[in-house]
Amino acid sequence: MGLRGALCFALAACSGPPPVAPAAVINATPSSVCAGDDFRTQIHLDSRGSSPALTLVYTKPDPDAGDITYDWSFSGAVCKGLDSDPKPCDVIIDGSSVDALGEINGTDVLFTMAGDRPVDVTLRVQNIAGGVTDAHSTISITPLDDAGTCPLP
């Protein structure tokens, strides 16, 4: 075994298995708004089904399994009620969903959207072992009906 092989063997022996991955779950209500919604419909994102450990079959998170952290991101121009917000906004995050530093890191997020294009949502969940999992969801746009009205309830 040459020097390269010895280094690879030594490095592999020193590293352990990757940390256990958490489960990231996004439930969106509603999951669609009508074209031209113009920030009228409040959307609730709920990640309370997320868990510190990934399983093949969903099980209710164990409250004693350890903490997980949440980090939400959105496609488009996101406004959080800060002076540094872009103009115009594609997404407006409700003030109750933003912490004092302007981060969106709670289990639940409330927001509205312009309704001119779909919005992609990403939830990054990290457990105390350092495992990270991303979940993605899209809030879609429903076209208006022939009468020009929104067919959604």
pLDDT per position as a tens digit, 26-54: 999 999 999 999 999 999 999 998 988 88
pLDDT in tens, 62-119: 667 678 999 999 999 999 999 999 999 999 999 999 999 999 999 999 999 999 999 9
- For 88, phi then psi, to 5°, come to -80, 170
- Whole-angstrom distance, CA of residue 18 vs CA of residue 41: 41
In this prediction, residue 25 has a pLDDT band, given cuts at 50, 70 and 90, of: very high
Q: Among residues 42, 21, 38, 10, which one has the least CA distance to residue 112?
A: 42
Task: Decide which of 2.40.50.70, 3.40.190.170, 2.60.40.10, 3.30.1600.10 is the CATH code for 19-142.
Answer: 2.60.40.10
Residue 40 vs residue 19, higher pLDDT: 40
- Distance, in Å, from the CA atom of 14 to the CA atom of 8, rounded to the nearest integer, reads 10
Q: Report domain extents, the chain.
A: 19-142
DSSP class per residue in 94-121: -GGGS-TTS---SSEEEEEE-SSS-EEE
Ramachandran quadrant class, 68 (left: phi over 0; alpha: psi -120 to 50; beta: rest): beta
Bridge partners of 142, per DSSP, are: 34
Q: Is the dihedral of CA 89, 91, 97, 103 positive or negative?
A: negative
Can you give the pLDDT at residue 16? Answer: 77
% helix / strand / coil in the chain, to the nearest 5? 10, 35, 60
